[in-house]
Amino acid sequence: MKRLVAVTLALALAGAAQASAESMVISPNGSRPSAKGPDQYFTGSVVVDPLYPANDQTSSSGGLVTFEPGARSAWHTHPAGQILIVTTGIGWVQEEGGAKREIRPGDVIWTPPGVKHWHGATAGNGMSHIAVTNMAGGKNVEWMEKVTDDQYLR
């Protein structure tokens, strides 16, 4: 915890420094604790590993999200869009009104602002993706209803 505070402070100080006086900042692996994806927004077991927060110099936040088989997000939109980079496993994405689509490691998925969608693992395989989520007015997501089993398996 002490370390996290120190890293956060360092990032804040780096952000406040003059451009000419800035140095590279390494946020070490192990300094950003994993969190469980909240049941309110996810179905099944989901682990979120924060990578970087949005600040004055980055207009996005980054996180590594790991879904067990069958796990998925609720329906949601992003006010300024989101990029997903699949790192392991096999997953599904779907936008409202469209067919469910398979995603695999190395795939890069752009979800434009305001497009209602969900993402998660397939029923038979886990999946991890890095999510780069753009900020607009201090927000990066609008959560909606859960994806039902019927919708998920359709």
For binding to Mn ion (CB under 5 A), which residues are involved? Answer: 82
The minimum distance between CB 3 and Mn ion, in angstroms, equals 30
Considering the complex, state which of residue 15 and residue 141 has its C-beta at the smaller distance from Mn ion: 141
Considering the complex, state which of residue 30 and residue 138 has its C-beta at the smaller distance from Mn ion: 138
Considering the complex, state which of residue 57 and residue 148 has its C-beta at the smaller distance from Mn ion: 148
The minimum distance between CB 129 and Mn ion, in angstroms, equals 10
Contact (CB, 8 A) for 73 and 84? no
Considering the complex, state which of residue 82 and residue 126 has its C-beta at the smaller distance from Mn ion: 82
Contact (CB, 8 A) for 120 and 72? yes
Contact (CB, 8 A) for 140 and 78? yes
Phi, psi angle pair for 149, to nearest 5°? -60, -40
The minimum distance between CB 38 and Mn ion, in angstroms, equals 15
Of the candidates 25, 26, 63, the one whose C-alpha atom is nearest the C-alpha of residue 42 is 63
Of the candidates 62, 37, 80, 49, the one whose C-alpha atom is nearest the C-alpha of residue 131 is 62
The minimum distance between CB 77 and Mn ion, in angstroms, equals 8
Residue whose CB is nearest to Mn ion in the complex, by number: 82
